[in-house]
Amino acid sequence: MAGSPIVIVGAGQGGMQAAASLRDAGFDGPVTLVGAEPQPPYDRPPLSKQYLNGEVDAAALALRTPAFYQNQDIDLRVDTRVAGIDRANAAVVLDSGARLPYERLILATGSIPRRLPVPGADHPGVLVLRTLAQARVLRDRLAAPRRVVVIGAGFTGLEVAAAARSAGHEVTVIEALDRVLARAVSVPVSEHVTRLHRGRGVDIRFGRQVEAIEGEADGPLRAVRLAGGESVPADLVVVGIGVVPDTALAAEAGLAVANGVVVDAYLRTSDPAIHAIGDCALFPSPFADDPLRLESVQNAVDQAKCAAEFIAKDGLAARPYSAVPWFWTDQYSDKLQIAGITTGHDRTELAGDPEQGRFSVHCFRGERLVGVESINRPAEHIKARRQLAAAGTLAGAV
């Protein structure tokens, strides 16, 4: 396919990897990587961890050096917004009006933080954490002592809570459900993570609905008001109630969209000239009964490699996407690692000792092992990934 241009929209982990992997796979035509953010692709997970607590600075987050893009002949365009996709003429239209013709297009548009639908949520003291620019604001605000209220006990919210608490701030976490990470992990792991936070002095409140965020219109925040009248004083609120896939471009272009851009096993959208990868893609997986949409570095990177190989070989001897999903989070000095898709399990087996802070939860649906969650047991996690990969290959072959 030499000479036929490939355009990648979205310069996060997935978009960058797709560009690099196209070259690795021997594709020598033009590759253009378009990103809306002002800086070249960077490592996002540290934003809520080492960047927030000051261990690393922004310069250290770059995924590749400027020389890399030059040497690989990747046309990286940062600070560049896409206005639409002209499918009839196979071109991406930029905000500037410029057109980028494509033979193949890869959508790696990622996800955007879900907004809190309550009065006061647009107060400048209410922050979300997704981009480097947002992380910079949060880090600056945490330079002085604060009463921080985190809304949502998901991965990002808890990582922010851990970083803020470690820096000495007063931290309260408000969660609507009855345990932390409720949609992501089993009960024993939830309990362990809750103990970690409470042991460090984080005030976690379960089963609470946020009704409003109160503060002066042009002044400081005052409090987070909960249903039932309870009020939590706050100088700073961080909302971490999940993300939604950024499907706007795909939907406007008439591609099939559900909870994500719908793709087939080769990550092709309803238009076979367009692939979608990473956070924005809804894909079939041997590791789940229903189509999956995953928000992880692993998923972005592995899907980028899969799509790049498909495109570089023009679909010849193509392999369906079948990577084992895995994920990790740092909570203080503890490491939680998840292999497989554990949601929807109906039985668990515990290995190791939660009291010692080192254990794994093996999650089953019926007889089938669907995933393993480990606390401070990396070898167990790696073993589980290999085990699931072998089983997944088997399931795919049947």
Partner 1 sequence: MPQITYVRTDGTSDTVEVPVGTSVMRGAVREGVAGIVAECGGAGMCGTCHIFLPEEQRLARGIAPIHPLEDEVLETTSCPRRENSRLGCQLAVTERCDGLAVDLPEHQVLP
185 near partner 1, rule: CB under 8 A: no
- According to CB under 8 A, which residues from 98 to 117 bind partner 1? none
270 vs 298 by CB, closer to partner 1: 298
CB of 31 to partner 1, least distance (A): 14
Provide the residue type at 128 as one letter: V
327: Cβ contacts below 8 Å, ≥ 6 apart: 296, 298, 337, 338
- According to CB under 8 A, which residues from 361 to 380 bind partner 1? 376-379
Closest CA to 233 of 220, 244, 223: 223
337 near partner 1, rule: CB under 8 A: yes
136 near partner 1, rule: CB under 8 A: no
247 vs 376 by CB, closer to partner 1: 376
Helices (H), the chain: 13-24, 66-71, 132-141, 155-166, 187-199, 248-252, 297-312, 378-397
CB of 172 to partner 1, least distance (A): 28
Which member of 20, 91, 236, 304 binds partner 1 (CB under 8 A)?
20
- According to CB under 8 A, which residues from 296 to 315 bind partner 1? 297-298, 301
25 near partner 1, rule: CB under 8 A: no
CB of 330 to partner 1, least distance (A): 8
Give CA–CA dist 259/292, Å, rounded: 9
Which member of 159, 175, 330, 373 binds partner 1 (CB under 8 A)?
330
Q: How far is CA 33 from the centre of its chain?
A: 20
221 near partner 1, rule: CB under 8 A: no
CB of 344 to partner 1, least distance (A): 24
Provide the residue type at 273 as one letter: A
123 near partner 1, rule: CB under 8 A: no
- According to CB under 8 A, which residues from 48 to 87 bind partner 1? 55-57, 59-60, 62-65, 67-68, 71-72
Which member of 179, 192, 225, 381 binds partner 1 (CB under 8 A)?
381
Which member of 45, 157, 278, 371 binds partner 1 (CB under 8 A)?
45
Task: Answer for the pair 152, 116: CB distance below 8 angstroms, yes or no.
Answer: no
391 near partner 1, rule: CB under 8 A: no
| Long-range pairs, 156-160, Cβ under 8 A, ≥24 | 156/48, 156/129, 156/240, 157/238, 157/240, 157/241, 158/193, 158/197, 158/240, 158/329, 158/331, 159/48, 159/49, 159/52, 159/329, 159/330, 159/331, 160/48, 160/52, 160/129, 160/238, 160/240
Provide the residue type at 129 as one letter: L
CB of 42 to partner 1, least distance (A): 10
18 near partner 1, rule: CB under 8 A: no
Give CA–CA dist 287/324, Å, rounded: 7
Which member of 137, 212, 382, 391 binds partner 1 (CB under 8 A)?
382
Closest CA to 109 of 218, 257, 216: 257
CB of 386 to partner 1, least distance (A): 9
4 vs 298 by CB, closer to partner 1: 298
Give CA–CA dist 19/9, Å, rounded: 11
CB of 238 to partner 1, least distance (A): 22
Give CA–CA dist 87/105, Å, rounded: 10
Find where tokens 């229903």 sit. Answer: 290
CB of 303 to partner 1, least distance (A): 14
Give CA–CA dist 190/184, Å, rounded: 9
Total residues binding partner 1 (CB under 8 A):
31
Question: What residues does 243 pair with on adjacent strands?
Answer: 113
CB of 131 to partner 1, least distance (A): 17
43 near partner 1, rule: CB under 8 A: yes
CB of 14 to partner 1, least distance (A): 12
What are the residues binding partner 1 (CB under 8 A)? 13, 20, 43, 45, 55-57, 59-60, 62-65, 67-68, 71-72, 297-298, 301, 328, 330, 335, 337, 376-379, 381-383
